[in-house]
Amino acid sequence: MKNVKFEDLGIIEYKNAWDYQEEFFAKYLNIKAENRDLTEENQTEIEGNLLFCEHPHVYTLGKSGEQNNLLISDEFLNKIQATYVKTNRGGDITYHGPGQIVGYPIIDLERFNLQVKQYIAKLEESIILMLKEFGIESERLQGATGVWLETETSRVRKICAIGVKASRFITMHGFALNVNTNLEYFNHINPCGFVNKGVTSMEKELGEKQNYEKVKDVLKVKIEQVFGMNLKK
């Protein structure tokens, strides 16, 4: 089990959380550069971080995304008290807001012997196992990241979005899991660039508001199990 520092940032503006991630990201890239010139026993281990948080209403566009997947004007953004941010993660457009668990792992994939695709698969697996504990059957969708429900039907819908960045095997950005999310905000975008797939939440699937803190606790346990990590404060 590899130690990783866990922090719950609570409700935080998207840009502030991004800046906080960037501090760790830059620090770990510097350590990796320094380690290259050192023998193994003299290298500094990158412990890494997992951040959980919740954002006020915000739409974020990944670097491969199309701005026209945001379907509303600046005036309407103001009206619904939302902001819009272009980011440096992969993926297209998504929404973050209250009632959603956003997770940002800043870890060294080499420490966990993972390639980027394997890392994304483990994030998905952690979510899938957590949802199963709450009675929700979910799965992957071929050709798309994230966690989905009923992928073989016309009712296919996404419950968790994933968009990451990795440089020299250091990761940032992460996942957004809809727990008690106001899904109406997704009506103003083509989520992740898809025009023919729905979005859902744990609340919608289970018919009642979920215990947000309990979901976080179960999710942490599943991440620890899947990645072989020990989350410590």
Picking from 29-38, 69-78, 170-179, which range would have the lowest pLDDT averaged per residue? 69-78
Confidence of residue 195 (pLDDT cuts 50, 70, 90): low
Q: Are 223 and 124 in contact (CB under 8 A)?
A: no
CB atoms within 10 A of CB 160: 27
Query: To the nearest whole percent, how much of the chain has pLDDT over 90?
Result: 77
Q: Mean per-residue pLDDT for 151-164?
A: 93
Handedness of CA 150, 154, 160, 164 (dihedral sign): positive
| 11 vs 73, residue with greater confidence | 11
Q: Please give the backbone phi and psi of residue 161, each rounded to the nearest 5 degrees, phi first.
A: -95, 145
pLDDT the model gives residue 90: 80
Q: What would the mean pLDDT of 177-201 be, rounded to a whole number?
A: 83
Q: How many angstroms separate the CA atoms of 207 and 229, rounded?
A: 33
Residue 175: pLDDT above 70? yes
Write the DSSP string, 45-67. Answer: P---EEEEEE-SSEEEE-TT--G
pLDDT in tens, 82-134: 999 999 888 788 899 999 999 999 999 999 999 999 999 999 999 999 999 99
* pLDDT recorded at residue 196: 61
Range of 72-81, 161-170, 188-197 with top mean pLDDT: 161-170
Instruction: Give the residue extent of every domain in the chain.
Output: 2-232
pLDDT above 90: residue 74: no
Q: Which residue has the tokens 């953004």?
A: 77
Over residues 24-36, the pLDDT tens digits come to: 999 999 999 999 8
Query: Residue 120 and residue 28: Cα distance in Å, rounded?
Result: 20
Active site residue 160: no
Contact 179, 206 (CB under 8 A): no
| DSSP states of 134-168 | TT---EEETTEEEEEE-TTSTT-EEEEEEEEEEET
Written out in words, the top-level CATH class of the domain with range 2-232 is alpha beta
Helix, coil or strand: residue 28: helix
CB 114 within 8 A of CB 107: no
Place of tokens 């997704």: 186
pLDDT at 167 over 90: yes
Q: 192, 215, 219, 223: which one is catalytic?
A: 192
What per-residue confidence (pLDDT) applies to 88?
87
